[in-house]
Amino acid sequence: MKKYAALAAGIAIVALGLLMFLAPSAYEVVEKGHHVRPYESGTVYKIRVADTVTVYAAEESQPDMDHISGSALVALATASLMVALLLGAKNGSRRVRKFYLFATAGLAYLAFDEFFAVHETVGHNLPFLSDLPGIERPDDLIISLYIIPTLAFLYYFRDVLTSSSRAVKFFAAAIGGFVLSGLSDIAGMSVDEPLEVITAAMIVGGFISLIVTHLAGLGDYAPSDPAATDPPVAPKSHALSSS
């Protein structure tokens, strides 16, 4: 049953990516402005869907990918912190706990960057970076530097990342999507954005698989290495000493 559930989730993710790719060609914005409806309102879009149905939509209904990805990063950071706290409360593996604490810090920073455009702001204040070979925008170099701590994290915690076979499959699919996205961008094809969505979804799936794996063993966790957990606290004796 779990196998079929994972397959269904994968199909749903791919279908979502294709829908996002095909959606812009399925509708046309006929008119937009404050005058579209006969009453006072904000900016309203008059949309013709599949050349058959007319729909009116508020300006706020247009999805903002930066806010969507930022919200997803906040959710993952929160989940990661909760797992770290649970592992601490249950005397779980110190190494796994450290993994989730580092992941929390990284995800929280990425969310902050997504909401407040940190790397773009830094790039705008360091315009000379665009003079470097192969750099068109200063923030391109800033964002590429994120690869260094990311690779260090992946290498240091490679044993934790591969502790779930399902997570490994998700991460492998994410790597494949990342490579395809880069190649499509170089080739000038217009499939890089849906591939990025699918890649991000695969990363989320892998992270959730890790969480499920590590939380499943909390009840009967029995590490072979005594150093893997905090030393047990000896119970206080209530016996009265003889005088």
What digits encode the pLDDT tens for the residues 119-172?
888 888 988 888 888 778 888 888 888 889 989 999 999 999 999 999 999 988
Domain boundaries, the chain: 2-61, 65-222
* Contact status, residue 83 vs residue 100, Cβ threshold 8 Å: yes
For residues 4-13, average pLDDT:
58
pTM: 0.68
Q: What is the pLDDT of residues 55-99, one digit of tens each?
A: 777 776 666 767 777 888 899 999 999 999 999 998 888 999 999
- Kindly list the distances between the CA atom of residue 58 and the CA atoms of 22, 46, 200, in Å, as whole numbers in the listed order: 21, 9, 28
Expressed in angstroms, the distance from the first to the final Cα of the chain is: 66
The pLDDT of residue 180 is 78
pLDDT band at 26 (very low <50, low <70, confident <90, very high): low
Could you tell me which residue, 199 or 102, shows the higher pLDDT? 102
Which residues does residue 31 pair with via DSSP β-bridges, in sequence order?
46
Worst-scoring range by mean pLDDT, 22-26, 34-38, 70-74, 185-189? 22-26
Q: Which tokens in the block code for residue 222? A: 């029995």
* CA–CA dist 135, 182 (Å, integer): 16
Mean pLDDT for the chain overall:
77
- Asked whether the predicted pLDDT for residue 222 surpasses 50, the reply is no
pLDDT of residue 202: 87
| More reliable by pLDDT, 5 or 115 | 115
DSSP labels, 211-239: HHHHHHTSTT---SSGGGSPPPPPPPP-P
